[in-house]
Amino acid sequence: MSASKTLRKLAVVSPVPADIDIANSVEPFHISEIAKELNLSPKHYDLYGKYKAKVLLPVLDELEGSGDGYYVVVGGITPTPLGEGKSTTTVGLCQALGCYLPSSTITRTDFWNKRGAAGGGYSQVIPMDEFNLHLTGDIHAITAANNLLAAAIDTRIFHESTQSDKALLNRLCPPNKEGKRL
């Protein structure tokens, strides 16, 4: 039986356990099983461990001419006080559609935001702890850009606090060879 059609019963309990406990209570499918279900060859994705992968853009060339699917966007909603927002809604919606549709469903969330976008409760992407620790590589580009901006601001503050107004003006708006500022 295929990965998406194999039912793994999850014990739903009340009160709902912590997100990390729910995530750790389930054994995820190996990504190669999921890729096989979706007819993706290993050249179509890059593995990030056994349970995560990024689908490569050239897969679109091979999908050309195949039947169209449906694309549902969940966006622009305000999270509840408990933090359920776009990711939790998206994952829950795909879980529900996957149970009732005769075809496969795929969920894509943005894993680089401040909370990891792994969803919550019984509607989450696993391994949640790894996504929340940003082990998918995307956060490093954001971190580098943030550090560069912070260094530029720190440098500007330092120079403004240690220079006279005239010296600072000469550094920021240097005069040309004739001594005129443009």
Please indicate, yes or no, if residue 59 is contained in any of the structural domains.
yes
The predicted model scores a pTM of 0.50
Tell me: do 143 and 96 sit in the same domain.
no
Tell me: do 43 and 120 sit in the same domain.
yes
What is the radius of gyration, based on Cα positions, of the chain?
A: 24
Tell me: do 26 and 93 sit in the same domain.
yes
Which amino acid is it at 110?
A: D
Please indicate, yes or no, if residue 95 is contained in any of the structural domains.
yes
Q: What is the mean pLDDT of residues 129-139?
A: 59
Residue 151 domain boundaries: 139-172
Res 127: pLDDT: 72
pLDDT 10s digits, 37-70 = 877 888 888 888 888 888 888 887 877 777 777 7
159: CB partners within 8 A, 6+ apart: 168, 171
Q: What is the mean pLDDT of residues 128-149?
A: 70
Tell me: do 40 and 129 sit in the same domain.
yes
In 10 A of CB 143, how many CB atoms?
11
Tell me: do 39 and 81 sit in the same domain.
yes
Tell me: do 127 and 155 sit in the same domain.
no
Q: What is the mean pLDDT of residues 152-174?
A: 87
Cα–Cα distance, 129 to 19 (Å, whole number): 9
Res 118: pLDDT: 59
